[in-house]
Structure 1
Amino acid sequence: MAVSANRLELLQIADAVAREKNIDRMVVIEAMQDAMEKAAKGRYGAETEIKVEINPRSGETRMWRLLEIVEDVEEPSRQVNLKLAQVKNPTAKVGDFLTEPLPPMEFGRIAAQSAKQVIVQKVRDAERDKMFEEYTGRVGEIVNGSVKRVEYGNVIVDLGRGEAIIRRDELIPREMFRYGDRVRAYIYDVRREQRGPQIFLSRTHPQFMAKLFMQEVPEIYDGVITIRSIARDPGSRAKIAVTSNDSSIDPVGACVGMRGSRVQAVVAELQGEKIDIIPWTDGIADLVVSALQPADVAKVVLDEQAERIEVVVPDEQLSLAIGRRGQNVRLASQLIGWDIDILTEQEESERRQKEFTERSTLFMQALDVDEMVAQLLASEGFSSVEELAYIEPGEIASIEGFDEETAGEIQARAAEYLAEIDRKFDEERTALGVSDDLYEIEGLNAAMLVALGKEDIKSVEDFAGCAADDLVGWTERKDGETKRFDGTFKDFPVSREEAEDMIMQARIKAGWISQDDLPAADEGEEGYAEEEAV
């Protein structure tokens, strides 16, 4: 009867631990088996191979010693001779294991303590694995918990089944928590570390706001309204762009709610953070006008290649458009993903006047014409001597006061000026040691070859080894800010597609690829460019 009671007690303990720690019952039983094996090794010798099995139904414990069958015995405690093994088991062969039943053993105090440590460690590891698997699948969710303690500004949150941490920089500024406070946060990362899985929470993450709106606005939860972009200055101000998949539903009105009830619930959770809700449009110009509200925008100029937007506002609207400490324009830039430059109408007028004066001066010097002719050319929109040299003569002759003879003379002087500049650049190119073969690549001129020579790109092979980013530059966006890296051709109006075409010409000329391979090579170059952009 005593044996039955012990068996029953063993299973009851396994069931209780499994329920308490919310882990599989078999994990606890396996931990008990490991503990008994360790205790038995303490009695029979650490070098002895022992196997323990606990029947999960009856609780019966069986113990064996395992002996490896070998030809020549070197370790008597772990090995047995083949002939001796075949006496006990005629089918035994080298490499098999012979099992010898061991009698039940009583656990002493030290053995019991050691077994307890093994079980506790195994159960703790299983508990950690269970928690890691559970919370890894919950990254991107909002969780509720209570503050367990605050350490050096970091808040440790009790989630009931585990602990999570909100680091100081993931808390809303001026936000204070004390022991026992309820807290709601966003799971943005779960990592497996030596001390167990670490769950990282955030209250400043843009997706925290998105999830809060999803909880408050049924249309977002149902997918009728989509949040396209969010920019936050935690605790101060945020901008959120939304769009509706149903033309009968106003996305902004749905997010605001009756008398602002929905948005106010989010604002209250975010410690009074002001939220601007704007409708998302695919037109960047319209989007930037909405994003800079409440400021009025007079003019928008886009530079798609550099992903920059120049916005002109009335003089009295400048401070409103920029916002306190640049907050309004910074959030608008993060929301759209483009850099935004703010100019007043007066600044734009002064800049245009300066550009007009510079172009007029250039034409006077390059074409040897008087000021009135130079200003006429500049006012007609001509911005460079190259443009005058290669445009149709009729375009110049159509200017009031000009005729065909005047147009021809202007174009001749422009061509002569450009030829002289090319001659000077060619002399510098020769001095730098840049190969003449590069002239055969369509699109390259003497000035570009000088720029390449200064970057130590002096042959067709050197140029063939370039990437498009090396020539036209690239942009990287980090922490909401875009950083521009200039390329070799930063001073020339060369697009990425033109740069890729030049590189392909160089690779064909260098013999790296053939003309037949060009379509496949184009695809590879595009993929490479995309990979670098990412």
Structure 2
Amino acid sequence: MAVTGISANRLELLQIANAVAQEKNIDREIVIEALEEAIQKGAKSRYGAHHDIRARIDPKTGELALTRHVTIVEDDWMPEDELEEFNDSAMVRLTDASKRDPEAVVGKEYVEDLPPFEFGRVQTQMARQVITGKVREAERANQYEEFKDRVGEIVNGTVKRVEYGNTIVDLGRGEGIMRRDQSIPREVFNIGDRIRTYIYDVRPEAKGPQIMLSRAHPGFMAKLFAQEVPEVYDGVIEIRAAARDAGSRAKMAVLSNDSSIDPVGACVGMRGSRVQAVVAELQGEKIDIIQWNPDEPTFIVNALAPAEVSKVVLDEEADRVEVVVPDEQLSLAIGRRGQNVRLASQLTGWQIDIITESQDSERRQREFSERTTLFQEALDVDEVIAQLLVTEGFATVEDLAFVDNYEVAEIEGFDEDTAEELQARARDFLERQAAILDAKRVELGVEDGVMAVPGVTGAIAVALGEGGVKTVEDLADLATDEIRGGYEMKNGERVKVPGVLESFNLAQEDAELLILQARVAAGWIDASELPQPPEPEYEEEGELAEGEYDPEAVFEDVAPEAAADDAEVAEGDLEPTRDA
């Protein structure tokens, strides 16, 4: 659009503003402001950039007012920044203004009307740039405002161009980009093709809003089901989670808010009509629809379908779950190239480790043997008593030493005297171990103050000393990766860096708390800055729900026959006497 001169017909300016606003779908006021700024810039080019010249177009009549302003400032006026200086063409000091105007006050403006002028070639080009820039900024702002609230929607568009595998899509009032990794593999689009995509992000950037599109996002599949399944659209059926390996396989967890409606059946449809419509849009992607369950173990079992699961053991601190499957189900549970377990992990949010029943049995037997040997050596008892303790769930000497006496005395074949003797031996063993560790700590030069930090045990103190951490300040200065271990880039390769306490398998939160406790002990921070423990949650006791698994039942059916036989212990004697 060219500006020929400010002496143009007043209606022409309004016609220009209306035409541009309608064509670009922006507010008319924005176009008028752009015209005012363009005329103002042209006038400064004509009369001098140091003048304070302002242009004003009446939005109703199109009347243009071009004025020059001079403002009264204080005599001791100082610039607000180093780039600013006194401008005698736009400012006048109060003393000088008072000589000509007895009513002069700081802030008063003198306004002078300027005559109309013709735009030259330079002024016209400058005006065009100003107006074009303003209009483009308004377009970009409109696009962002329109699309920022449409994240999570499916939009229809036309392929505009394809660059290096990225597809640019014309959405009507904006352009979106679908990167190569967000498209379905082996799917090819040509210029002019109609395409359905999912908006997963809208980012405001200097060159305009970036509308990020996807056909591989799990949300795309969920929205397609909302279009095909009325119950999902109405909210009767909720899609609680979805995971995709685009172009190959997907899993979706659904929940019905109406007990009379089967969520899986509703999504599949009569003879699979509904799910087939989605599969066709996703280029033949296989979709497993499973029922969501609030019980985590049950949900994990459902997510691993079609594989059968024997047992699930949750480790909530590490967000990991161990799943035991029959030996013949292992390949089915893992899936081709790990696809089934990977999608199940994404769907449930748990890291899933799969082992077979034979592997689980071998491991439990090995753990049973190791713990039996530990109790034999620590308590100086025979194998039968050690096996009884392990069978009852005691995993460490600490468990035995500090449990209530009656829990040991209730073991079949034991009495209170036997329990007291066993616990006394356990405490003696722990004291000897603590003395050995403390002596080694002192030998390594670890200060006593380190032992006073909450969470530091003798074994941890020795490990710290072996890692060169010998003072409270040394411990307080560590990062969590230095404690737990991590990875770093060396010569372009990702290299494993061991942590000083890596062998203790501390959780991220525990490592952070240990460092904070050391910083409190060192006086770097106040104890009030420590994270507060969550309020305990109390649940009513009851039977396990269907599909719920007991992670405590680790040693079931593992103890040898000797541990299962009835045994009686004579008073004051640790050797059990078998009934004939």
**Interval of TM-score (by shorter of Structure 1 and Structure 2):** 0.7 to 0.9
Q: Is the 8 A contact 1:470 1:488 kept in 2?
A: no
Deviates most, 413-422 or 286-295 = 413-422
Deviates most, 278-287 or 405-414 = 405-414
Q: Is the 8 A contact 1:155 1:167 kept in 2?
A: yes
Q: Is the 8 A contact 2:472 2:518 kept in 1?
A: no
Please tell me the residue identity of whatever aligns with 2:20.
Answer: V
Q: Is the 8 A contact 2:239 2:252 kept in 1?
A: yes
**Paired residue total:** 510
Report the CA distance between 1:224 and its aligned residue: 2.5
SS of corresponding position for 2:126: helix
Name the CA distance, whole Å, in 1 between partners of 2:140 and 2:227: 30
Name the CA distance, whole Å, in 2 between partners of 1:75 and 1:136: 44
Alignment TM-score, normalising by the size of structure 2: 0.75
Residue 310 of structure 2 is matched in structure 1 by 298
Q: Is the 8 A contact 1:464 1:510 kept in 2?
A: no
Indicate whether 1:204 and 2:216 are aligned: yes
Indicate whether 1:148 and 2:151 are aligned: no
Residue 235 of structure 2 is matched in structure 1 by 223
Name the CA distance, whole Å, in 2 between partners of 1:138 and 1:98: 50
Please tell me the residue identity of whatever aligns with 2:442.
Answer: T
Q: Is the 8 A contact 1:441 1:506 kept in 2?
A: no
Q: Is the 8 A contact 1:302 1:308 kept in 2?
A: yes
Please tell me the residue identity of whatever aligns with 1:34.
Answer: E
Deviates most, 440-449 or 32-41 = 440-449
Residue 48 of structure 2 is matched in structure 1 by 45
Q: Is the 8 A contact 1:471 1:490 kept in 2?
A: no
Q: Is the 8 A contact 1:53 1:62 kept in 2?
A: yes
Larger relative contact order, structure 1 or 2 (CA cutoff 8 Å, min sep 6): 2
Name the CA distance, whole Å, in 2 between partners of 1:87 and 1:440: 81
Name the CA distance, whole Å, in 1 between partners of 2:424 and 2:250: 58
Question: Which structure 1 segments of 5+ residues have no match?
Answer: 476-484, 528-534
Please tell me the residue identity of whatever aligns with 1:351.
Answer: R
Indicate whether 1:344 and 2:347 are aligned: no
Choose the corresponding residue for 1:282, options 287, 294, 298: 294
SS of corresponding position for 2:150: coil
Q: Is the 8 A contact 2:478 2:515 kept in 1?
A: no
Q: Return closer, same or farther for 1:510/1:103 CA change in 2, 3 Å cut-off.
A: closer
Q: Return closer, same or farther for 1:165/1:470 CA change in 2, 3 Å cut-off.
A: closer
Residue 34 of structure 1 is matched in structure 2 by 37
Q: Is the 8 A contact 2:7 2:116 kept in 1?
A: no
Choose the corresponding residue for 1:308, options 311, 314, 320: 320
Q: Is the 8 A contact 1:230 1:239 kept in 2?
A: yes
Q: Is the 8 A contact 1:366 1:414 kept in 2?
A: yes
Name the CA distance, whole Å, in 2 between partners of 1:472 and 1:526: 22
Question: What per-residue deviation string (whole Å, max 9, x for no partner) do you get for residues 264-288 of structure 1?
Answer: 2222222222221211111111111
Report the CA distance between 1:329 and its aligned residue: 0.9
Q: Return closer, same or farther for 1:249/1:465 CA change in 2, 3 Å cut-off.
A: farther
SS of corresponding position for 1:353: helix
Deviates most, 39-48 or 368-377 = 368-377
Indicate the percent of aligned positions where both proteins have the same amino acid.
Answer: 59
Name the CA distance, whole Å, in 2 between partners of 1:398 and 1:159: 74
Name the CA distance, whole Å, in 1 between partners of 2:227 and 2:134: 39
Q: Is the 8 A contact 2:50 2:87 kept in 1?
A: no
Name the CA distance, whole Å, in 1 between partners of 2:134 and 2:506: 66
Alignment of 1:247-262 (within 5 A): 247-262=259-274
Please tell me the residue identity of whatever aligns with 1:99.
Answer: V
Q: Return closer, same or farther for 1:34/1:354 CA change in 2, 3 Å cut-off.
A: same
Indicate whether 1:420 and 2:432 are aligned: yes
Residue 62 of structure 1 is matched in structure 2 by 65
Deviates most, 16-25 or 500-509 = 500-509
Alignment of 1:486-525 (within 5 A): 488=501, 491=504, 524-525=531-532
Name the CA distance, whole Å, in 2 between partners of 1:511 and 1:116: 61
Indicate whether 1:172 and 2:184 are aligned: yes
Please tell me the residue identity of whatever aligns with 1:165.
Answer: I
Please tell me the residue identity of whatever aligns with 2:308.
Answer: D
Q: Is the 8 A contact 1:295 1:317 kept in 2?
A: yes
Q: Return closer, same or farther for 1:116/1:497 CA change in 2, 3 Å cut-off.
A: closer
Report the CA distance between 1:433 and its aligned residue: 3.6
Deviates most, 497-506 or 128-137 = 497-506
Q: Return closer, same or farther for 1:462/1:44 CA change in 2, 3 Å cut-off.
A: closer
Higher helix share: 1
Name the CA distance, whole Å, in 1 between partners of 2:388 and 2:73: 104
Question: Which structure 2 segments of 5+ residues have no match?
Answer: 1-5, 76-84, 487-497, 535-580
Residue 191 of structure 1 is matched in structure 2 by 203
